[in-house]
Structure 1
């Protein structure tokens, strides 16, 4: 029988709780739901008011993996949705505004991806993101070296960066912006930073996506600031071999990273980290910390 649970007055149908999503560790769908319930207090503020795309992997990372951007079929009527502009015409996307919606969405088995703008102001960037993606044999260790340089460069422009793991191979740098700039302006600024980083560290950094340029270097992906692009949200589980999480980290951890395992966190690691640090990305939520693009 499919269990039905009640969350803050909303009835949610859960399914296949014993299904193993991550065979390498035996991590089940029920454990994934428990993780999101545990992380909800810090995750929800970073999702709220942001249209969410879902990278679904209902049979685990080894099964079919596909993006769902529009409101999924059979979405409960109490889930908040919003209209978003697209080149082919307006569409509707989900807003994860509360715990019941988070748990309903978690039951879909999905990564959570968000834009760098909120629903009431599409295309006005209130976040800046730099996705540091290492090309083998480079790893997150090299990403950390690049991140430290970018942190100082952003600070010169009065912009405070916060790091988190991608939950895959690399590192994300996030910064709060006053929503006075278009997504195009944010992307142009991020591209200029990526070019500067390549000039400063030509043996380590590449700003172009061309695959042949990337082995052994860190690709500074500036393009995720574009209006249509999304980035893995803070605290989301990833569709990888293990239940890795896109986890906020301290700058001290970035500076001390000497091996990839030092910055690889799974769902099991997060409760202790939250107990120690709380939400390391809380500065992004304080309008007083929002920077202005030069």
Structure 2
């Protein structure tokens, strides 16, 4: 029989808590749930009012993995959802994780958490800009750091602040708080900067999706700004061989990185980092930190 627990007044059935999800570290599902509950005060604000997509890996990263946007069958009635427009199939409903019971319910499914750059009340209107820096072997996160620092300085020239985090996989994410802006415009602006980065950094980066161009380079993926795209959220565990976490980092850490393991963080390291730094991505939650994108005339001159 599955144990029943009560979380903030909500009854939850938790399953297979002794199941090893990460064989390389022996990490169990119970430990994953404990991580989610003890990190909820940092994780939940970054999910607030955003429809989430799940990458589910119920048997661990080495088992079957599948991506789902729709509300899973059997979801409790108290788990909130919102209607999300889909251009091809019409509107759909997606989960919105607003509280600890909902987060624990989702964690019991064994999921990576992904979210768009907009909230439920304004579909397709971004309040964040994102760059996904993906290194092609033999490039690593070390090369991503060079690209990230260039992008940070270029964004600063347009009056925008960038905040970095590890992807929890091989690369990095840069997030930028912006005033509400249509997603097609944030995508166009991000593409402009990705092209500029390619011109400035030469063979180090590419903005093109052609995989033949990626070995040894950092792919600056600007397309995750599109309204239909999502990005792994801060503090989510990833479906990787090790229980790595998408972790906010300081710009000093980015500047000082000389080896990939310096910017690889396992779930057991997050509590100490939060004790030291707090949530480095708190500024993304402050509407007063949001800035407008530069006007189109400036973008065209810089293209």
TM-score by length of 1: 0.99
Which residue is equivalent to 1:54? 54
The answer to whether structure 1 residue 108 and structure 2 residue 109 are counterparts is yes
Distance 2:185 2:99 in 1: 31
Give how far 1:291 is off.
1.5
Which residue is equivalent to 1:141? 142
Give how far 1:203 is off.
1.4
Deviations 1:58-109 (A, max 9, x none): 0000000000100000000000010000012000000000000000000000
Could you say what secondary structure the match of 2:275 adopts? Answer: helix
The answer to whether structure 1 residue 196 and structure 2 residue 196 are counterparts is yes
Q: How many residues align?
A: 293
Could you say what secondary structure the match of 2:72 adopts? Answer: coil
Distance 1:236 1:80 in 2: 19
Give how far 1:202 is off.
1.1
Which residue is equivalent to 1:285? 285
Could you say what secondary structure the match of 2:203 adopts? Answer: coil
Which residue is equivalent to 1:206? 206
Distance 1:92 1:121 in 2: 15
CA-atom RMSD in angstroms = 0.5
Which residue is equivalent to 1:79? 79
Distance 1:89 1:280 in 2: 37
Distance 2:158 2:51 in 1: 29
Could you say what secondary structure the match of 2:224 adopts? Answer: helix
- Any unmatched runs of 5+ in structure 1? none
Which residue is equivalent to 1:90? 91
Deviations 1:96-125 (A, max 9, x none): 000000000000000000000000000001
Distance 2:54 2:265 in 1: 21
Distance 1:48 1:12 in 2: 21
Deviations 1:243-276 (A, max 9, x none): 0000000000000000000000010000100100
Alignment of 1:112-261 (within 5 A): 112-179=113-180, 181-261=181-261
Deviations 1:223-255 (A, max 9, x none): 000000000010000000000000000000000
Deviations 1:143-192 (A, max 9, x none): 0011000000000111100000000000000011111x111100000000
Distance 1:202 1:38 in 2: 43
Distance 1:136 1:77 in 2: 45
Give how far 1:288 is off.
1.1
Structure 1 residue ranges (4+ consecutive) displaced by more than 6 angstroms after TM superposition: none
Distance 1:168 1:18 in 2: 25
Distance 1:60 1:10 in 2: 26
- Any unmatched runs of 5+ in structure 2? 295-303
The answer to whether structure 1 residue 263 and structure 2 residue 260 are counterparts is no
Could you say what secondary structure the match of 1:58 adopts? Answer: coil
Distance 1:212 1:291 in 2: 36
Distance 1:154 1:123 in 2: 22
Distance 1:278 1:219 in 2: 30
Distance 2:201 2:208 in 1: 14
